Amino acid sequence: MPVENCRTVAFMDESHALIIGGTRGMGRSLVGRFLKEGRAVSVVARRPPADQEQLDHQLTRYWQADITQPGLLNPILSEIVRDRGKVQSLVFLQRYRGEGEAWEGELSVSVTATKNIIDFLSPEFVEGPGGSVVIVNSNASEVIVDEQPLGYHAAKAALLQLVRYYAVKLGPRNIRVNGVCPITTIKLESQDYYLNNPDLMRLYKKMIPLGRLGTAEEIANVIAFLCSKEASFLTGQNLTVDGGISLRGHEALARLLKT
């Protein structure tokens, strides 16, 4: 079927999801979830997709781009909207993985790029209720994660307020803005590591009230919910998805691990 005919049938405006950074891990799981729902999925990332089946799927298209360069990125975003229709869901999953100064890099990739993309695309959302922005964050937005640098913590903390700000500013346009803060999850790329470290898995089982680590698919389910009509009156919230570990007091957790 010619691309244009296919677009007329399948690429309906109200089902178009645009994902920033969706070619690995959680992003790949989210693409799969959206495809099951019959959505048209557009992905902008710095690396090509790892999943050949998703790459070949008629409802997906991928663009490689540096999201920190608006002059190069904005024409690509315009092309996506022109070719695939107005945006219904916009999801941010990008991570800074570059070299050099981590402070500048983290803020540029996580915060500035997110702001610029939202500002550019907010006029390109579907008309009426249904528009949704989801920003995937980290528990480093509220606690200190020793293995991550200061810039990572500052960027993640800024995203909390960015969610709240845009929820208020874009609410009159019927665009909801929410965040998701997961803990470490098992992804396709990391599952062998966890399977080969039973002591670590036993430790997580002990610490997490639900008794296990979550999966990338479970986080994708939460994101999909926030993008759905079932979440139509939910905006400005940052959902912690951690199996309940953040509910444990530090002293209680220390005593638990000692036993």
Q: What is the pLDDT of residues 115-125, one digit of tens each?
A: 999 999 999 99
Helices 150-170 & 113-121 angle (0-180, nearest 10): 20
State the virtual CA torsion across 123, 129, 135, 140 in degrees, nearest 10.
Answer: 130
Instruction: Provide the mean pLDDT of the chain.
Output: 91
pLDDT by residue (tens digit) across 145-178? 999 999 999 999 999 999 999 999 999 999 999 9
Average pLDDT, stretch 238-244? 97
> Rounded distance, CA 4 to CA 242, Å?
42
**Amino acid at site 124:** E
**Amino acid at site 254:** A
The pTM (predicted TM-score) of the whole model is 0.92
Q: Which domains does the chain have, with CATH numbers?
A: 3-187+215-247 (3.40.50.720)
pLDDT band at 250 (very low <50, low <70, confident <90, very high): confident
- The answer to whether 80 and 18 are in contact (CB under 8 A) is yes
Determine the pLDDT at residue 48.
Answer: 86
pLDDT by residue (tens digit) across 59-85? 999 999 999 999 999 999 999 999 999
